[in-house]
Each structure stands twice: as C-alpha cells, then as structure tokens.
Structure 1
C-alpha cells in the first residue's frame, strides 16, 4: 500500500478561495511532507500560507491555454478541483442566459479544462468539489434524506445544472477510460469564519425588517455544514485516492448530519446579533409566490439589494437534507464541529467583519 506520508504533490484549484485556502492550510499542517500548490485567477492569500506553498499558479480555468500553461513543467500526483463560481443573492435564481454562460464557463468548461490538461500532463487523480445542488436545484421537489441513488438531471438553476454537468464529466466512463481516478463531494450550504455569502443574506433581513415572515408551515428541514467539516471531507477523499482508491468513481453527499428547521435556523442566526422578532407571521404556501413578488417590488421601490424574492421564497418552503452514510463508510467522514457551534463561530467572525467595515478598514 502507498505510504500516505510520501512527498505527494497536490494542486488545489481555487486555492485562494473560501474552501481552497482553508484546505491548503489544513493539508500543510496534516501532511508536512506533501508539496501543496494552488491555482487561482486572483491570489489574495495571507503571507503565512504563501510562504508554505510549493507553487502558486495564476490561471483562468475558463481558458484552455491558461490552464495548459500550468502543466508544462508541473505534474501533481493529485488535484483537488475546488475552483468554481457560486451565484449569490438574486443571481442565485437567475434565468438570464448571460448569467448561465458565465456559470457554465467556470464550473463546467473550467472543470473540463483542468481534467484534460491534467491527463495530458500525466496526473490521473482528482477530487472534485461538486455540490448538493446537483439534486436540490430542482426547486419543485422536496429531498428527504437523499442519497447518491437519486438520479441527476433535474436541477434547473444555473449553479446546480453546471455542477451536474461537471460532475458527470469527471465521473464519466469515457474519462475513466482515459485513466482518470476521481471522486466527487457534494457539500450542502457551507458556513464558517470567512463566510460573506450565506450569513450576510440572513443578517441583511434584520435591517430590512423581513424577520417577521415564515413562508409555509415552517416545518421544512434544511442542511448546513461547517467549513472545517467540508475541508476534512476533501482531505479524506484525497488520502483515499492516494492510497486505497475505494472512493474512485463515486460521489458523496456531505453535511453536518444535523438537519434543522430552516426558519428556526434563521431565528438562531439572528439571536447571535441580539435580534429577536417580536412576532412571526406564517404565510401560507399558496401565497408564497405572491409574497416573493411583493418583496421583489419593495426592494425595487426602495432601491435596496434584494434578499427575499420568488426564487428564495420557493427555496425556503421545501425540505432538503442528505444521508452521509456512504461518505462515512468509504471515506471515514464524520463531522466534528456541530451546527450550533458553527453558527456561533460564523456570526462572531461576521461581527468582526461588520465592525471593520464600519471603520472603513478592509
């Protein structure tokens, strides 16, 4: 069996991003003998991490030429492909073809470019950061305790559709025949220190006076997970492909394994900022679309950034949570930080961020 402490060369795409930078730091600490390199379009990484990296490649995954140039004199033993674009706020539910072209170019075409260039260079192992949205971006259905047997192809939002296409390419028999040994991880919504996407939307509801609404009956369950749990799943997947390879060809849902009532979760987040709605009104499901339209109109009228709209309202009335047994069995995955602590850490970090913004500091 391959010695896990061999001086493996590992490349993390999106290595300056939210998951990628934390993953790089974790691998450096966990496996000091490994040579960790990152690839990203922009590289705003801290000096401490910068000094510990073996290579830092600046490249655009949407460009075949840019990606190919990275592998001219470099061939890692394994790639963790975490580079991607996650549409946020109103663009999360966009139907604009221009938005789709950008998301597809990064998430699908970018994945193809990385895989093709890697195989050409001789690198045959890859961990792909997919997403639970390959299933749950089908907003017309609930997904109770979903596992990897749920068929793909129903996601209609840009992000989930692009991740589905990319995952299917990475795990396709055709690419496997070319020698790629790969697996895909499907994390749910990630929170943690450094999160400026998820918590910011929830926090903005306070200022906009939108915390008194509960759309539907309020009994829908939702998955969230802590960033370090997501990072550890990637570490375990990398270790697996470099040794036993029992994860090869497989996709894995990962979460905190603590489904929460979505609207109670929001209340818990708001409580971290000492906000407690004095009352909460349940809006029947059959009025959800009307409520979403009203909120879209209000944000347009007040010229404020939209938080709730028809897409997010529809998203907020359904259930989505996953079964992680496959990841537990094959990868040895087990979440370490619970959801309550994850929320506390995320919100404390966001308070520091808000304070720095108020003082005009970066």
Structure 2
C-alpha cells in the first residue's frame, strides 16, 4: 500500500464469512482492515495467531473495534476515516426472534447508512440473503434479481434482511455514497460453526438418516471463499468510476457456486466424507410440520430458562424441502463475479478442515463430578443420558417391571418369582426361534453369557470375604468402645436403612427411579450453578451461626 493509508471496515468481522473476507482483503493489500464486532476484545483462534490476521494486527494493517450496531455512537467510531464499509454483521438466522433481528438488521443497518453519509464514506457493500425473495411456500428455480419481495417471508430473519437491503439500495447516491447488496446462497466452508457441526451432531445422535420431503429439491450452495471474492468484486466495481460504477451501484446480486445440486445429495457428500452414513429414510414435510410447530412453541416458553435453539422449526422444514436455485448472470455482467473455487474442491476443503468431527474420532473429555460419583461405568452412561438409546431402553424395562410386578401389589418374593418366570419363558421362546424371520437375522444369546468363569467366581468370593472381614473388624472396634466416629457412622447408616424400610416398594420405585434419571443429569448439566448455590447457602448458615454465637456471647457479658 503506497501513499496515504486507506481503511475499510468489516462489520461482524469475526463471523464465518466475514473472517474469510478480512483475510482476503489483508492479502490483497488494498486497504488496512478495521474489524468491527460485538466482543470487547478480539480472541484469535490457534490457526489465526501465526497467520495473516495475527501478523496484520501486530503490524497495524488490521485493528479491532468493539461495536454494537444498535449504538450509533459506536458505529460512528468504527467507520471514522473509512473509505469502504462491508456490512456483514447479522444475528443468528436460526433464532426466530423478530425484535432481535429488527434491531440489528434494520436499525443497525440504518445506523451504518447514517454513519457512512455523515462521514462521507465512499462505498457500502451490504451482505443480504436470497431468503429476502423466498416466502417458504413457492420453490425458486434459477431465480433472478427481478423477483419481488414476497408479501410474507419465511421467518423474521428474512423479513428484516429484506428491510435492511431496501434501506441500503435507497441510500445509493446519498452524499456521494455508492451502495450494492450481495445475496450469497447457503454458505459453506472451513470455519463454519453451524452447518457441518449440526450435521455431525445429528449423525452421532442417529438423526441424520432421515430425508425431509421427497429428496429431489435442488439447491445452490456457495463456498465461503467465493462469497468473500464476490464482496471484493462488488467493491472494485463501485470503485471503478464512470458507467461501470453507475450500473453496478444500487443493485442486488445473487451469488452462488453456479453448480446447482440436490440439497440432500450435498448433505450426503459431507456426511460420507466424514465417515457417516448418508440419509435414506424419507419423511413427508407435511408430517414434520406439526411436530416442528410444537417444538417451536416449547422453545418460546423455555428459551428464557436456557433451552437451546432447536434444529427442527417450521421455517427450517420449508428450507430443507423446497428447491432454491439462483441465476448469477447479473453479478457476472455488472461486477465481474465468477466462482474461484469449484463446488467439489470446496467440499473437499470443507471435509478436510473437520478432522475432529470424523466418525472414527472419539470425543475425549474429562469425567464430570457426577460421572465419578456414579463410578463412570454403564450406570453413569445410563443415568446421565450419554447413550440415549440405552437409557430409553432401561426406562422401558423398568416401566415394564413396575406395571407388571410392583404396581399390582405383589410381595418381593412373588415379584421376583414372576420376573424369573417371565425371563424363562422369554429365553425358551427366543431359543426356539429360527435363525431368520422374513429375511431378518435373529441374534441368538451365546451360552457364554450364562457361564461364570473360575476367575470371576474367585474374584466374587474374595470380594464377599473381604466385605465380611471388614465388617467383622468394624464390629470388634465398636465392641472395644474406642472408635466413637465409627460407631456414629454405623449407627447413622443403620438408622437410614430403617427409615428406608418404612418406604413401600411402590413409592420407592415411583419416586426414586424418576428422581435418579432427572437429578443426576440436571446436576451434571448445571454443576457449577448448583455448587455455587450450595456454597452460598452454607456461607449464609455459617454467618447466621456466627451472628447467633456473638449475640449469645454479648448477652453473657452484659449479665
């Protein structure tokens, strides 16, 4: 960069696509880059520290400014001295929150426009969305920019994005400001924290086997580097001057990889690339819609209490089941955009960038306090819902036991006898079944499952003997009268057992089983919050005790 230092601003600069644009702008060296985002400071990831961005921040070719678009004073500060603004900031599109989306996509965009006109910024490139012309009902095949905004949008994000886009195009020419809008379709690539991670989460939970709709809907995807390239093309066209700038400004442009593909084929390629099975079971969208409406309603009720944004919403069902392809001829003609990375190459780079999400990579994590308390084995996995399929199976078995033996008022001996009888009948019938039924293979229970090895028998006997000897030593110690702490422990344990004896088997099952399946998982999820609450309660009790002791001491002194 020769001569006077020239600055550009990238709002939402720590977002997925914006990060790629920032790096591209730094590499091209046309501008120094001011990154504007919500965080109080910039936190670089491991690959960024020693990369292009890290070096630019150190050399001064890039800087970070904490900016809330809803605060005009902060927006003015971020845009001060800038020649170009790339307005890419937007809230999470999966959250159907009109107030949030309007405050950022409309009011925040208006603040950007006002700052650009007041500070005499020359160019504004706005990142819009193809969803601004999508109503959630009608499919779009090779749609171009002549498509009007629908009377009703698919969700609040699309509706507010359309309003923001309209404001940007209306402001073209105000105080010398040249504007245009970029509509990238379904962005994917390295660094994405939504599409690929959510796909893998679904695959690991066994939910990725389903196709919503007929599975033939066509889609346009855009590799993230092509999105960044489109922004640069748009800015260069606006900066060209003359008829080129005049034609390019005040326009909206669809941006894609120009390689339409079946939506579910694209998803399958990502899943297969990471070692998961491609989806095969088709579910009609009309069947999923009522369920999605219920899920969305529950989210609205429980969102204030920390419920995560659900993946299954009505607007998303519409997106997943309808065709959406777009024509990029206008972008090619007026701003000179053509993709620089083909779709298959983009897919390869994307898949290679997620080695930690491959199916053959086990998730390593430190055991939680609850997991350690439960022994970290199969019991912990069941009660903490680590294996949801196994947990639900255990719950079904327990429910069957309860309604078959306990709820009927059987004695313990009768219940055990009935359970053993049912087990014997099941094993006999299972043993008589043929190897295959209607083409399905019947998995026989091997005899080894019923055989106890000599080593296991010895280990069990030693464990019983060790327990007996420990109990005998404790009894001897109590008989001598030397260990008062041990006596207290034994007495309290026996008292607790006697109290348990007062509880009927029916009540113990009805209260204890649901409590075990809920309390442990709640504590596992909210361990810090619960521990902090317990500490506060203990501290408060200690303080009360201390205050009471002081009052007693003072009253004695007065006497």
Normalising by the residue count of structure 2, what TM-score does the alignment of the two structures yield?
0.56
Are the aligned partners of 1:7 and 1:33 in contact in 2 as well (CA < 8 Å)?
no
Greater mean alpha carbon deviation, residues 210-219 or residues 258-267: 210-219
SS in structure 2 at match of 1:38: strand
CA RMSD after TM alignment:
3.0
Are the aligned partners of 1:221 and 1:261 in contact in 2 as well (CA < 8 Å)?
yes
The residue correspondences of 1:69-84 to structure 2 (distance < 5 A) are 69-71=77-79, 74-84=80-90
Paired residue for 2:518? none
Paired residue for 1:281? 281
Paired residue for 2:548? none
Residues 55/315 of structure 1: CA separation in 2 closer, same or farther (3 Å cut):
closer
Paired residue for 1:115? 113
Paired residue for 1:152? 149
Distance 1:190 1:357 in 2: 27
1:313 CA drift (Å): 2.3
SS in structure 2 at match of 1:196: coil
Paired residue for 1:329? 333
Q: Which of 140, 145, 169 lines up with 1:143 in the alignment? A: 140
Distance 2:8 2:337 in 1: 20
What are the Cα deviations for residues 191-211 of structure 1, in whole angstroms up to 9, with x where unaligned?
111001111222222122223
Q: Which of 328, 340, 344 lines up with 1:340 in the alignment? A: 344
SS in structure 2 at match of 1:122: coil
Paired residue for 2:257? 256
Paired residue for 2:37? 40
Are the aligned partners of 1:76 and 1:123 in contact in 2 as well (CA < 8 Å)?
yes
Residues 254/282 of structure 1: CA separation in 2 closer, same or farther (3 Å cut):
same
Distance 1:305 1:175 in 2: 36
1:49 CA drift (Å): 3.8
Task: Confirm whether residue 240 of structure 1 aligns to residue 237 of structure 2.
Answer: yes
1:289 CA drift (Å): 2.2
SS in structure 1 at match of 2:265: helix
1:34 CA drift (Å): 2.5
Higher RCO (C-alpha under 8 Å, 6+ residues apart): 1
Higher percent of residues as helix: 2
What are the Cα deviations for residues 321-353 of structure 1, in whole angstroms up to 9, with x where unaligned?
110001111111111222222222222222336
The answer for unaligned runs of 5 or more in structure 2 is: 49-53, 367-559
Residues 343/162 of structure 1: CA separation in 2 closer, same or farther (3 Å cut):
same
Are the aligned partners of 1:5 and 1:34 in contact in 2 as well (CA < 8 Å)?
no
1:7 CA drift (Å): 5.4
Distance 1:297 1:75 in 2: 46
What are the Cα deviations for residues 287-327 of structure 1, in whole angstroms up to 9, with x where unaligned?
34256469889999xx9974334432222211101100011
Distance 1:132 1:264 in 2: 21
Residues 297/34 of structure 1: CA separation in 2 closer, same or farther (3 Å cut):
closer
Are the aligned partners of 1:75 and 1:118 in contact in 2 as well (CA < 8 Å)?
no
Distance 2:76 2:259 in 1: 41
1:64 CA drift (Å): 1.2
Distance 1:356 1:102 in 2: 37
Residues 213/292 of structure 1: CA separation in 2 closer, same or farther (3 Å cut):
farther
1:101 CA drift (Å): 0.9
SS in structure 2 at match of 1:274: coil
Are the aligned partners of 1:108 and 1:162 in contact in 2 as well (CA < 8 Å)?
yes
1:358 CA drift (Å): 3.6
Distance 1:86 1:271 in 2: 27
Are the aligned partners of 1:5 and 1:33 in contact in 2 as well (CA < 8 Å)?
no
Distance 2:149 2:262 in 1: 25
The residue correspondences of 1:19-30 to structure 2 (distance < 5 A) are 19-30=17-28
Q: Which of 73, 93, 96 lines up with 1:65 in the alignment? A: 73
Are the aligned partners of 1:220 and 1:261 in contact in 2 as well (CA < 8 Å)?
yes
Residues 209/8 of structure 1: CA separation in 2 closer, same or farther (3 Å cut):
same
Q: Could you list the runs of 4 or more consecutive aligned residues of structure 1 that deviate by over 4 angstroms after TM superposition?
A: 3-7, 290-300, 353-357
Paired residue for 2:553? none
What are the Cα deviations for residues 5-35 of structure 1, in whole angstroms up to 9, with x where unaligned?
98542222222222222212211211x2532
Distance 1:127 1:111 in 2: 11
Normalising by the residue count of structure 1, what TM-score does the alignment of the two structures yield?
0.85
SS in structure 2 at match of 1:151: coil
| Rg (Cα) greater in structure | 2
Residues 156/310 of structure 1: CA separation in 2 closer, same or farther (3 Å cut):
closer
SS in structure 2 at match of 1:48: helix
